[in-house]
Structure formats: C-alpha cells, structure tokens
Amino acid sequence: MTSERQILICQYTNCRANGSEQVLAAFQTQQVAGVAVSACDCQGQCNMGPTVRVLPDNTWYARVQPADVHAIVEQHLKAGEPVERLLHPRLHLRFSV
Ligand code: FES
C-alpha cells in the first residue's frame, strides 16, 4: 500500500546541527495512517532549519523543534489545517489588509 502523503524532514548538515534528527524521531513515534515519514537531503532552506515539508500540498515548515511535531501531526496531518506559526515565512507569504 502506498502513502497518499509524505512528510520530509531534512537531515543535511545545517538542519541536523539544529536538531532535525530529534524532529525526525518525533515524527516516527507519531505515525499517521496514509502519511509516510521520510528523511531527506538539503531542501535549500538551510538558514531556516530544521526544515519540514509536507507533500503533495507542498507546505513548508521552518525551525521545527521536537515539541512542535505534535501540533503538526494533530492539526495538519489529521485535521488538514496547517500550523500557521510554523509556516516558512518566505515560502508562505501572508499579507494583511
Ligand atoms: S540543511 Fe536542511 S534545508 Fe539545507
């Protein structure tokens, strides 16, 4: 059976230096049906790591810490609502009027 969605957690040098190994471990302990958890190489957002990316909706999270994983799992992966406070600020521009 293939997963409908994928969550990529960067394990390259800059993200690892900021704790992405622990972020990956946290996602692996909170698996969600239909969502594959994968380590990945550099995503080109090194100054904003640990970088977490959700596919296919292509949501980018920045500076994710292990304590943030529960919110991403419950709010985004289970309920379908991205966690605003963790969205990558340059890749998910928001404008107020
Ligand atoms: S090292 Fe993680 S995005 Fe580049």
CATH number at 63 reads 3.40.30.10
Could you tell me the residue range of the domain that residue 42 belongs to? 5-86
Per-residue model confidence (pLDDT) at position 39 = 98
Q: How do residues 3-29 score in pLDDT, each as one tens digit? A: 799 999 999 999 999 999 999 999 999
Which residues, judged by CB distance below 6 Å to any ligand atom, belong to the binding site of ligand 1?
Answer: 10, 12-15, 42-46, 49, 51
Q: How do residues 47-96 score in pLDDT, each as one tens digit? A: 999 999 999 999 999 999 999 999 999 999 999 999 999 999 999 987 75
Residue 26 C-alpha to ligand 1 middle, in angstroms? 18
Q: Which atom of ligand 1 is nearest to the CA of 20?
A: 2
Per-residue model confidence (pLDDT) at position 3 = 76
How many domains, the chain?
A: 1
In a domain, 60, yes or no: yes
Q: Which atom of ligand 1 is nearest to the CA of 12?
A: 1
In a domain, 35, yes or no: yes
What is the CA 37 to chain-centroid distance, rounded?
10
Residue 14 C-alpha to ligand 1 middle, in angstroms? 6
